[in-house]
């Protein structure tokens, strides 16, 4: 059984089509949508969708990505989890197939999807940005022991997952997701809000890397650069 997870904060422009793709996909058994205290129409869009496959979670206030992920994982029933960000453009059923396929071969691996980049600065730092891609799939058993830590990780969710899998010696597969892009913060917010969100995101990421529990960063970086031939 596969549970797809979409965590959203003010993503009214993009979340609808993403949920439609996941709900209509035959390999997805349930879709868990978390409205993390949105102040736009995100919550209403989630509530407007009628499907027995859809589990709806509403946080009364914004708790951060880590808390939203933890809520979704706790509510999930699947053996495997597929994560998709709520700000994707051109999300397609093929992307779901690509993310899930490696799990058929190695059930204890983690799959990271490689989006395409449209901005010049994204292309320049594409190898680094791929560390934090939200599109991924893994066995739920890999994430259950660290739920408490995820709740307070903010934007550091992907960092914790990456390093945990490497520390355990689990394989990580990278799969290209053709034509898939996402809206970066400067696409979604005015300048002052974009800068504020950018600083917050990077603080969360750096905080996780500096956490003394993370002893596998060097190994993960080496694995990433080897796989991507950097």
Q: Which residues pair with 81 in a beta bridge?
A: 3, 138
Q: What integer pLDDT is reported at residue 171 of this predicted model? A: 85
* Beta bridge mates, 3: 30, 81
Instruction: Give pLDDT < 70 ranges for the chain.
Output: 117-132, 166-167, 184-230
Report the 3 state secondary structure along 101-169: HHHHHCCCCEEEEECCCCCHHHHHCHHHHHHHCCCEEEEHHHCHHHHHHHHCCHHHHHHHHHHHHHHCC
Tallying the residues shown for the chain, one arrives at: 230
Q: 213-224: per-residue pLDDT in tens?
A: 555 455 555 655
What pLDDT is stored for residue 146 in this prediction? 87
* 2-227 fold: Spore Coat Polysaccharide Biosynthesis Protein SpsA; Chain A (3.90.550)
Residue holding tokens 């597969």?
A: 173
pLDDT at 61: 95
List the chain domain ranges: 2-227
Residue 112 C-alpha from the chain's centroid: 9
The pLDDT of residue 153: 78
User: For residue 230, what pLDDT is reported?
Assistant: 44
| pLDDT score, position 30 | 98
For residue 113, the model assigns a pLDDT of: 92
């Amino acid at each position: 059984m596969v549970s797809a997870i979409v965590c959203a904060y003010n993503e009214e422009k993009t979340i609808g089509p993403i949920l439609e793709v996941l709900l209509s996909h035959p390999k997805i058994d349930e879709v868990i949508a978390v409205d993390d205290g949105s102040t736009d129409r995100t919550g209403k869009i989630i509530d407007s969708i009628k499907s027995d496959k859809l589990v709806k979670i509403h946080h009364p206030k914004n708790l951060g990505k880590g808390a939203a992920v933890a809520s979704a994982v706790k509510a999930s029933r699947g053996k495997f989890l597929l994560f998709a960000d709520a700000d994707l453009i051109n999300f397609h059923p093929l992307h779901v197939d690509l993310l899930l396929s490696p799990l058929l071969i190695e059930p204890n691996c983690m799959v990271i999807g490689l989006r395409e980049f449209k901005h010049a600065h994204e292309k320049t730092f594409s190898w680094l940005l791929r560390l934090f891609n939200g599109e991924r799939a893994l066995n739920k058993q890999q994430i259950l022991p660290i739920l408490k830590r995820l709740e307070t990780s903010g934007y550091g969710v992907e960092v914790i997952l990456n390093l945990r899998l490497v520390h355990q010696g689990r394989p990580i597969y990278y799969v290209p997701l053709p034509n898939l892009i996402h809206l970066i913060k400067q696409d979604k917010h005015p300048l002052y809000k974009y800068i504020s969100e950018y600083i917050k995101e990077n603080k969360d990421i750096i905080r996780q890397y500096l956490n003394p529990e993370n002893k596998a960063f060097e190994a993960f970086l080496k694995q990433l650069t080897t796989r991507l031939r950097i």
